[in-house]
Amino acid sequence: MTDFKNLHTYREIRQQPAVWLKAYDIVLSRKGEIKAFLDKYLGEGYQVVLTGAGTSAYIGDALDTALYDTRFRGARAIATTDIITYPGYWFDSTSKVLLISFARSGDSPESIGAVKAVEAAAGKAAHIFITCNANGELARRKGDNILTILLPPETNDVSLAMTSSYSTMLLTCSMIAGIDHIEDDRKWIESISECVAKALDRYEDDIKAIAARDFTRAIFLGSGPLKGVSEESRLKLQELTDGSVMCTFDSFLGFRHGPKALVKPESLMVYLMSSKAEVKRYEVDLLHQINANNHVKASVIVCDKCPGVESDLCVEIGYAPETPERYSCVSYVFVAQLLGCFKSIDCGLCPDSPSVSGNISRVVEGVTLYI
């Protein structure tokens, strides 16, 4: 059996709490520069657009709701893959766009293509590049309208799947959105880092045991920002098993409207539960209904504090319920990352390079840009 502790994927999952603290120090050290950049472009009425491809796009899908109480309120998540094909749908000569690009390598065709498409279609454009690769094409672009945030080098994941790159870029954008009070937010970053570090130790063996169960499909549910995190969670398990486990995601309430037909005896259910009491009551209702009416291979709850609903595993992260959602949401994804890593091994694959067919690669290939 693969010695999973020697895998890049496993190491990159486990390093996340420590890397988050390093990212905080980077953002704090550049507070004046970041604040001046935002003051200029947000003060001129620029619309914030969150973009990336695949996992990087899912960062925006979580943040466009998580940033509701920051200077980025009203930000739109638009994938680079959508911008490139339909730039005129999103932007015109009256548009003033602050494009926040998330990119692990910064070398995928869509990363640069989206920048070019926005600059061609919008009346005015400025850019924040949040990237993990100092040598990537995105990081090398310069200009008065560009702010580049280069993350710690260990976030440039060696493995195929984005793990620490995803969570650290998500967290970094959240910190930038709250740059005016970044010193006060240290307590939240330290808290979620400590909580996730402890949860990784406490629940690793339990998650490994769940991964060993004989499920062939998995369903991830979340509300608000956690719906976006469930989207990324779904991809992690699916790509690390090379499609052997087919996965989907939805919101708790949305799942009732048709997608609930996917719940079968061969299913794994993973519930990312909100800490907000007014949200959690809807989520608990759905759990009770599924427990009463369906049989599944396993059910996993991920939450701040276990809600007292029957499940095969309740991963209690333990963060304070008053933690801003833009920070707390980042603490949930490690469960799917570990599930994917262990299930990949269970399927006879190597998590670092699980694509036997070569259908997926670390940096997307074969895209021709017509820009």
- Output the pTM of the full model: 0.95
Radius of gyration of the chain (CA): 20
CA distance 238 to 232: 10
pLDDT of residue 114 exceeding 90, the answer is yes
Six-digit token pair at 248?
């989907």
Percent of the chain with pLDDT over 70: 96
The answer to which of 1-10, 187-196, 210-219, 362-371 has the lowest mean pLDDT is: 362-371
The pLDDT tens digits for 196-231 are 999 999 999 999 999 999 999 999 999 999 999 999
CA distance 108 to 246: 25
Helix ranges (H only) for the chain are 8-14, 16-29, 31-43, 55-66, 80-85, 87-90, 109-121, 137-140, 164-177, 186-211, 225-240, 252-255, 277-293, 325-328, 334-346
Contacts of 214 (CB under 8 A, 6+ apart): 266, 297
How high is the pLDDT of residue 175?
A: 98
Q: What is the mean pLDDT of residues 79-92?
A: 96
pLDDT of residue 357 exceeding 90, the answer is no
How high is the pLDDT of residue 361?
A: 52
The pLDDT tens digits for 244-259 are 999 999 999 999 999 9
- Helix count (H) and strand count (E) of the chain? 15, 10
- How distant is the alpha carbon of residue 204 from its chain centre? 20
pLDDT of residue 239 exceeding 90, the answer is yes
Domains of the chain: 4-184 (3.40.50.10490), 188-346 (3.40.50.10490)
Query: What's the chain's average pLDDT?
Result: 95
The pLDDT tens digits for 272-321 are 999 999 999 999 999 999 999 999 999 999 999 999 999 999 999 999 98
How high is the pLDDT of residue 359?
A: 63
How high is the pLDDT of residue 4?
A: 85
